[in-house]
A and B are shown apart, each in its own frame.
Chain A
């Protein structure tokens, strides 16, 4: 057991190191001199040789590559992730921390809702295996799986805002009311009610989109997991004891069938973040996904580098944690 833990942690560490090296190398494969690229960006079009030479020194490009790599890794771990090229020279770590809050709110809530609904649908489908409900949920699952996430977002906009008109289209300058915000609406401080309503309006459609695209995978895994559990001997025993269907399902089958959800959340994290990029960009939701798109389009390399690192490392760590949590929850599983 102990050696297994060490090996898992070692492997994850190696993967993180590869990510660091890749992040270092990729951004140095870019065509052109980074100093010149930087000086050309943001409106200044200077290629004065003195300026370029000074910028190269500031960027540390005069060091040999291996020293640069060493510095990069040290800086990464000491929290010095550089400054944004565009957002008024703000620290990359500051920007990431600010945006991450909103993404965690969106992704977290929609994932919790998805798992809750997915477990119910999956269980219902497994219980009625091969019946109409099972087939229908499978069909819907495939349908939403095959959809580009951003397109689903647009369709929801068409349906809810244009068609039914339940959810208002917020004007471009409308921002989420923050407690103490002087400008909202001019002269009034937002009340708690305003904040909740405003937050809900910003949150509901992005969350609905993310929920719908994730639902398919989760309910399908739940269904298959429960079907496996239902064929096990102890379930037959529970039935033979004369327990009602409800009790068999609730007390005996479901607790075990729910276990794979733990791994699934970690495995899905990458997929969800991919979805969050699309959803946030469609709905102009001020999180990491929207930031990714603007950073890539603006060629804001320090922010791109920071985002990539943050996303990659969080996925690796989530996978590692889920392995251990799963083994801890289910003693039958031996880590190997």
Chain B
């Protein structure tokens, strides 16, 4: 048939069936999501975690808009004079160490910058660095876990010994060592990589055990019988089934990554060019906030860290309970 085109009845039928297939898939995904959501809603702690995270997401997203409309001060500009205008460059530090009042709610820092605005702006960087580090560590952990679990043999043996090495080392000690060695020359990307590299080992273990159990299931047998290759089976059949567990793990890891970043910032390795809550506490300690009576300079960012870590932890545990069949309530 020379003139078969899109309008031919056969092609049109095929399109239609593909379209409906897509619709069926979308519908089933939507149903699955709704089922999970209804299970999730029963977990009170998970809901609390989600709520906390929504608040912080709002803070992270709204910072530029609130500053543009004047509700927040510019976090990097010193304030000046009794009416707290932004300082002209030659008068820097006029309103430094101001006590909290109705205008600057948490006071000002050693350069006269509004601490409340700095706290609000710090949300973005803190969460983003934690998130990126978690992505790095999930990528590495999933990859190693998949290879180790599916291919087995000596690759598994070697990889698991390396995983043991990372599991056994105290995370913070390893992170501090790597920072001490490479931190001075590191950019933000390397900084995030260093945090990610210290946190992936438990994910690799988790994914490996999941792969080992999935490997025995019948649908993998069928895929192999049809003639699917190893790579295809790993990424098209095993990975999607292990993904939900990794997702819950990723949320939990964000919390750990944020704590690691706060630790490193305080010890003397702040993320290059990023203002986070950890950096804020470090500055407060460095510039004697307690002696200046500005205790909220230290307490507020610390409470923010506690809240956001709590949010991610509660959400992560709730998701883990839903996805991880071993933890599901009997």
Chain A interface, DSSP helix/strand/loop, else mixed:
helix
Task: Select A273's contact among B170, B278, B313, beta carbons within 8 Å.
Answer: B170
Complex-state Cα separation, A297 to B217, whole angstroms: 52
Q: Is B177 an interface residue (CB 8 A)?
A: yes
Which one of B173, B185, B268, B295 has the highest number of Cβ atoms from chain A below 10 Å of its Cβ? B173
Q: Is A99 an interface residue (CB 8 A)?
A: no
Nearest-Cβ distance from residue A313 to partner chain B, whole angstroms: 10
Complex-state Cα separation, A212 to B69, whole angstroms: 43
Q: Is A15 an interface residue (CB 8 A)?
A: yes
In the complex, residue of chain B having the shortest beta-carbon distance to the beta carbon of A318: B168
Chain B interface, DSSP helix/strand/loop, else mixed:
helix
Nearest-Cβ distance from residue A298 to partner chain B, whole angstroms: 9
Please tell me if the beta carbons of B177 and A304 are within 8 angstroms of each other in the complex: yes
Please tell me if the beta carbons of B267 and A293 are within 8 angstroms of each other in the complex: yes
Complex-state Cα separation, A150 to B285, whole angstroms: 11
Task: Select B161's contact among A14, A155, A312, beta carbons within 8 Å.
Answer: A14
Please tell me if the beta carbons of A315 and B169 are within 8 angstroms of each other in the complex: yes
- Contact (A11, B168) CB under 8 Å given A146-B306, A277-B173: no
Complex-state Cα separation, A25 to B285, whole angstroms: 35
In the complex, residue of chain B having the shortest beta-carbon distance to the beta carbon of A289: B173
Nearest-Cβ distance from residue A310 to partner chain B, whole angstroms: 10
Please tell me if the beta carbons of A278 and B263 are within 8 angstroms of each other in the complex: yes
Complex-state Cα separation, A155 to B285, whole angstroms: 11
Complex-state Cα separation, A316 to B310, whole angstroms: 30
Task: Select A15's contact among B165, B172, B262, B310, beta carbons within 8 Å.
Answer: B165
Complex-state Cα separation, A5 to B133, whole angstroms: 37
Residues of A within 8 A of B182 (CB): 29-30
Q: Is A18 an interface residue (CB 8 A)?
A: yes
Q: Is A79 an interface residue (CB 8 A)?
A: no
Task: Select B171's contact among A150, A274, A292, A308, beta carbons within 8 Å.
Answer: A274
Nearest-Cβ distance from residue B179 to partner chain A, whole angstroms: 7
Complex-state Cα separation, A143 to B306, whole angstroms: 7
Please tell me if the beta carbons of B168 and A316 are within 8 angstroms of each other in the complex: yes
Q: Is B211 an interface residue (CB 8 A)?
A: no
Please tell me if the beta carbons of B313 and A270 are within 8 angstroms of each other in the complex: no
- Contact (A26, B181) CB under 8 Å given A158-B290, A308-B173: yes
Task: Select A292's contact among B176, B255, B307, beta carbons within 8 Å.
Answer: B176
Residues of B within 8 A of A19 (CB): 165, 169
Complex-state Cα separation, A150 to B284, whole angstroms: 13
Residues of A within 8 A of B255 (CB): 146
Please tell me if the beta carbons of B267 and A319 are within 8 angstroms of each other in the complex: no
Residues of B within 8 A of A26 (CB): 177-178, 181
Residues of A within 8 A of B305 (CB): 146-148, 151
Task: Flag A260-300 by CB within 8 Å of B: 1 or 0 each.
Answer: 00000000011101100110010000000000110111010
Q: Is A31 an interface residue (CB 8 A)?
A: yes
Complex-state Cα separation, A278 to B299, whole angstroms: 17
Q: Is B314 an interface residue (CB 8 A)?
A: yes
Q: Is B283 an interface residue (CB 8 A)?
A: no
Task: Select B310's contact among A146, A149, A157, A270, beta carbons within 8 Å.
Answer: A146
- Contact (A148, B165) CB under 8 Å given A270-B171, A304-B180: no
Q: Is A311 an interface residue (CB 8 A)?
A: yes
Q: Is A27 an interface residue (CB 8 A)?
A: yes
Nearest-Cβ distance from residue A220 to partner chain B, whole angstroms: 12
Please tell me if the beta carbons of B302 and A18 are within 8 angstroms of each other in the complex: no
Task: Select A148's contact among B168, B169, B173, B302, beta carbons within 8 Å.
Answer: B302
Q: Is A145 an interface residue (CB 8 A)?
A: yes
Residues of A within 8 A of B262 (CB): 148, 151
Which one of B161, B169, B177, B278 has the highest number of Cβ atoms from chain A below 10 Å of its Cβ? B177
Q: Is B266 an interface residue (CB 8 A)?
A: yes
In the complex, residue of chain A having the shortest beta-carbon distance to the beta carbon of B265: A148
Task: Select B290's contact among A146, A157, A319, beta carbons within 8 Å.
Answer: A157
- Contact (A150, B290) CB under 8 Å given A26-B177, A27-B181, A31-B185: no
Please tell me if the beta carbons of B165 and A18 are within 8 angstroms of each other in the complex: yes
Nearest-Cβ distance from residue A168 to partner chain B, whole angstroms: 15
Task: Flag A134-174 by CB within 8 Å of B: 1 or 0 each.
Answer: 00000000110111111100110110001000000000000
- Contact (A11, B263) CB under 8 Å given A296-B176, A297-B268: no
**Segment 14-67 of B: residues with Cβ below 8 Å from A:** none
Q: Is A22 an interface residue (CB 8 A)?
A: yes
Q: Is B238 an interface residue (CB 8 A)?
A: no
In the complex, residue of chain A having the shortest beta-carbon distance to the beta carbon of B165: A18
Task: Flag A31-57 by CB within 8 Å of B: 1 or 0 each.
Answer: 100000000000000000000000000
Please tell me if the beta carbons of A273 and B168 are within 8 angstroms of each other in the complex: no
Q: Is B119 an interface residue (CB 8 A)?
A: no
Please tell me if the beta carbons of A146 and B298 are within 8 angstroms of each other in the complex: no
Q: Is B250 an interface residue (CB 8 A)?
A: no
Complex-state Cα separation, A11 to B263, whole angstroms: 31
Please tell me if the beta carbons of B281 and A299 are within 8 angstroms of each other in the complex: no
Complex-state Cα separation, A146 to B179, whole angstroms: 23
Which one of B169, B170, B290, B314 has the highest number of Cβ atoms from chain A below 10 Å of its Cβ? B170
- Contact (A315, B168) CB under 8 Å given A31-B185, A150-B266: yes
Complex-state Cα separation, A27 to B178, whole angstroms: 10
Nearest-Cβ distance from residue B187 to partner chain A, whole angstroms: 14
Please tell me if the beta carbons of B173 and A274 are within 8 angstroms of each other in the complex: yes
Residues of A within 8 A of B295 (CB): 158, 162
Please tell me if the beta carbons of A145 and B179 are within 8 angstroms of each other in the complex: no
Shortest Cβ-Cβ A-B pairs, 5 listed: A270-B170, A274-B172, A296-B180, A146-B309, A151-B302
Subset of 11 A-B contacts with CB under 8 Å: A15-B165, A15-B168, A18-B162, A18-B165, A26-B181, A29-B181, A150-B281, A151-B298, A151-B302, A155-B302, A162-B290
List 13 additional A-B contacts (Cβ < 8 Å) besides A154-B285, A154-B290, A292-B176: A15-B161, A26-B181, A30-B181, A145-B313, A146-B307, A151-B305, A158-B290, A158-B295, A273-B170, A274-B173, A277-B173, A304-B177, A311-B173
